[in-house]
Amino acid sequence: MIREKVEKALEKVRPMLMADGGNIELVDVSDDGVVKLKLTGACGSCPMSSMTLKMGVERVLKEEVPEVKQVIAL
């Protein structure tokens, strides 16, 4: 259930990442609200990727899916 909500929320983030030549892949969602993601393409090697993850992706996920407690990049 949470995984489906996270996937839907990620669809709102993907166009921003794709505009810069990157994307995001959902790896896992734990029962305790930890979301594991993998940044791909240009985002995977970008020095700003940790900021993108925390300030962009994590913020959107927490707004859209209140069950999300933390987002981790793999």
Give tens-digit pLDDT for 22-67: 999 999 999 999 999 999 998 888 888 888 888 889 999 999 999 9
Q: How does residue 19 score in pLDDT terms, banded at 50, 70 and 90?
A: very high
Domain definitions of the chain by residue range: 2-73
pLDDT of residue 21: 92
Q: How does residue 69 score in pLDDT terms, banded at 50, 70 and 90?
A: very high
pTM: 0.89
Given a cut of 90, is residue 71 above it in pLDDT? yes
**Residues in contact with 45: Cβ distance below 8 Å, sequence separation at least 6, in sequence order:** none
Q: What is the DSSP string of the chain?
A: -HHHHHHHHHHHHHHHHHHTTEEEEEEEE-TTSEEEEEEEEHHHH-TTHHHIIIIIIIHHHHHH-TT--EEEE-
Domain formed by 2-73, architecture: 2-Layer Sandwich (3.30)
pLDDT of residue 9: 96
